Amino acid sequence: MTDHNEFSETEYALISQSIEGLTASIQTQCIKQTKSYLELFTGDVACYSPDFKPIMALFQQRYSRRDWRSEIDQIRAALRQAKAAVISITSPGYPEQLKFIGAPPPLLYVRGNVNNLHLPQIAIVGSRRMTRSGGANARDWAKFLAGSGFVVTSGLALGVDGAAHKGALQATSGKTTGVMATGIEAVYPPGHRNLAGQIVESGGTLVTEFHFGGKPLARNFPQRNRIISGLSLGVLVVEAAVKSGSLITARCAMEQNRDVFAIPGSIHSPQSKGCHLLIKQGAHLVETAEDIVVELGGALAGMRDSVSVAQGQPVVAPKILTDEEHQALEILGYEPTDLDGLMRFSPWSIAKLSQILVALELKNAITNENGFYLRLA
């Protein structure tokens, strides 16, 4: 039996990609039994149920051949060169939102700020052939939502996706996540290489489930779309034809029990027909970005029934604070403090703290000025 300390859990997860027959779906089934990749490859087979023992024994036998070593060495070198990290589904760093979708990816390759994957995210998707008004909506709504505390997540594609990423970058301290349909070392389309660089340099994130060398194959894009929706609390469709990848993302969101929002448009525009179809199917018709903040405020902090919007007025929320929100205010005190400063005294995960902070902003108890939180109540 191999020394359990030879590799980290992440490296065992990488090794699993090189083991013959250990597909993503089989990995998911195995990890439900063993709870870790280390246990899968080094655990005592005798401790498991009779129906699982043969599977575990088979993969341990293939692992013992060590014919994966050269490939793992190459991946390690590629990770260093790309300045990328790997997160396995067995790691505490894996985003909780994504764990509970159908067929969650066993591995995520990430460049940039990994913490963004744990923050509240809103996906913005739409047509590659966007109209002028569609592009303006994508940029403006992304800027507003990023300024409201959401990470804007999209697919790094031409059209609406690119406009959404750019809009988020225009917000003060705005963050955006690009979900890729290629390996982490490549950017598709090539014309968005500069945009991808700006996302990472600004504190944003690039993420993919596809291994190094993964090409932009047609089948990868629908697969990628389930991650866009899976990471997010909701999906906003800005423009879409009836047959489009954006509607695939929206369907994924519905299957994952995420909110779907659609902007209505002209009945004469083919780029509006997909949004109108979604609205007929039950998507939220939204006319302002504030509509989304109000709706997702409920998902973040149990405020769905208490938040109201006065016609033509800014969002107003009752200042009934939960115990956790009172505790967060005590941690904040009366001096401007950034997220890192709050985390040093926080008993919660970064994802939980971020949810509480968004709730406090919605209740007008705090404000976010250039990344520093300031108490108002």
**DSSP annotation string for 180-199:** PSS-TT--SSGGGHHHHHHH
The Cα 372–Cα 190 span in angstroms is 35
The Cα 252–Cα 241 span in angstroms is 17
The Cα 89–Cα 36 span in angstroms is 9
In a domain? residue 136: yes
The helix (H) or strand (E) run that includes residue 124 is strand 121-125
Quick one: 358 and 214 in the same domain?
Answer: no
User: What total of structural domains would you count in the chain?
Assistant: 3
Burial of 290 (0-12, 13-18, 19+ CB in 10 A): middle
Look up the domain containing 55 and give its range: 1-81
SS3 316: strand
Quick one: 144 and 201 in the same domain?
Answer: yes
In a domain? residue 336: yes
Quick one: 127 and 247 in the same domain?
Answer: yes
Quick one: 161 and 281 in the same domain?
Answer: yes
CA atoms within 13 A on the CB side of 288: 11
Question: What is the per-residue pLDDT across 21-80, written as a single tens digit (0 to 9) for each?
Answer: 888 888 888 998 999 999 999 999 999 999 898 999 999 999 998 888 888 888 888 888
**pLDDT by 10s per residue, the chain, length 377:** 344 456 788 888 988 888 888 888 888 889 989 999 999 999 999 999 998 989 999 999 999 988 888 888 888 888 889 999 999 999 888 998 899 898 899 999 999 999 899 889 999 999 999 999 999 999 999 999 998 889 999 999 999 999 999 999 999 889 999 999 999 999 999 999 999 999 999 999 999 999 988 999 999 999 999 999 999 999 999 999 998 899 999 999 999 999 999 999 999 999 999 999 999 999 999 999 989 988 886 555 433 333 233 223 333 333 567 888 889 998 988 888 888 789 888 998 887 888 788 778 777 788 877 677 888 86
Quick one: 260 and 368 in the same domain?
Answer: no
Quick one: 73 and 210 in the same domain?
Answer: no
Quick one: 263 and 136 in the same domain?
Answer: yes
In a domain? residue 144: yes
**Domain boundary, last residue among 286, 314, 345:** 286
Q: Is the torsion defined by CA of 180, 181, 183, 187 positive or negative?
A: negative
Q: pTM of the prediction? A: 0.77
The helix (H) or strand (E) run that includes residue 276 is helix 270-280
In a domain? residue 89: no
Assign residue 236 the CATH number of its domain. Answer: 3.40.50.450
pLDDT at 93: 86
